[in-house]
């Protein structure tokens, strides 16, 4: 077993520290250097910075889209089933203009090891809704943490920003 685990991922830190009991060290995330440029769009739209996969929270995002009649910009191209996003207002995300016209970035993932887009969104002043499994601890401005699998919490958080 490792003598020391060093991580920036707050969920991994909590797991190793509290469940396994190994010595751990949490290194704080560093935000990309940028000026906050976010302008709340007239028409609400969320960014889902992943493919339409269950482990990324796609079912919860799809349900929230239906419930709140929200548009979603999806970064990834894979999906659980053919036609997964049917009946949702879905557009592919433009990686060069990721946060343009976006009300919030949403990643209700069950597992996430690289929250770079979430950190970039925070740096740009874009509200972020994610799960503890994304590895970003509470305390950042406009960051809302919801439980993985909770469509009700996700929809309530989205109503604040959309």
Domains of the chain with CATH codes: 1-27 (no CATH), 38-161 (3.40.50.2000)
Residue recorded with tokens 């439980």:
147
Give the helix/strand (H/E) hosting 132: none
Structure tokens at 128: 């972020």
Q: What is the pLDDT of residues 82-93, one digit of tens each?
A: 999 988 999 999
| Distance, first Cα to last Cα, the chain | 46
Between vectors from CA 156 to CA 120 and to CA 126, what angle results, nearest 5°? 20
Residue 88 CA to residue 92 CA, distance in Å, equals 12
Where do the DSSP E strands lie in the chain?
5-7, 24-26, 45-48, 71-74, 89-92, 104-107, 128-130, 143-145
- The arithmetic mean of pLDDT across residues 41-60, rounded, is 94
Banded pLDDT at 1 (limits 50, 70, 90): low
- The arithmetic mean of pLDDT across residues 25-43, rounded, is 84
**Has this prediction a pTM greater than 0.85?**
yes
Angle of helix 58-68 versus helix 151-161 axis, rounded to 10: 50
Whether 34 shows a pLDDT value over 90: the answer reads: no
Residue 162 CA to residue 148 CA, distance in Å, equals 20
């Amino acid at each position: 077993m490792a003598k020391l685990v060093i991580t920036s991922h707050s969920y991994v830190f909590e797991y190793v520290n509290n469940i396994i009991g190994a010595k751990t060290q949490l290194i704080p995330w560093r935000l990309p250097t940028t000026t906050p440029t976010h302008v709340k769009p007239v028409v609400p739209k969320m960014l889902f910075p992943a493919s339409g996969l269950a482990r990324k929270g796609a079912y919860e995002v799809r349900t929230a889209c239906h419930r709140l009649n929200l548009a979603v910009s999806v970064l990834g191209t894979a999906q659980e089933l053919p036609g997964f996003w049917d009946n949702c207002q879905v557009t592919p995300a433009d990686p060069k203009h990721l946060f343009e016209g976006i009300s919030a970035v949403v990643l209700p993932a069950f597992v996430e090891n690289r929250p770079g887009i979430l950190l970039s969104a925070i740096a740009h002043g874009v509200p972020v809704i994610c799960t503890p499994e994304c590895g970003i601890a509470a305390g950042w401005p406009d960051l809302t943490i919801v439980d993985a699998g909770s469509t009700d919490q996700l929809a309530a958080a989205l109503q604040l920003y959309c």
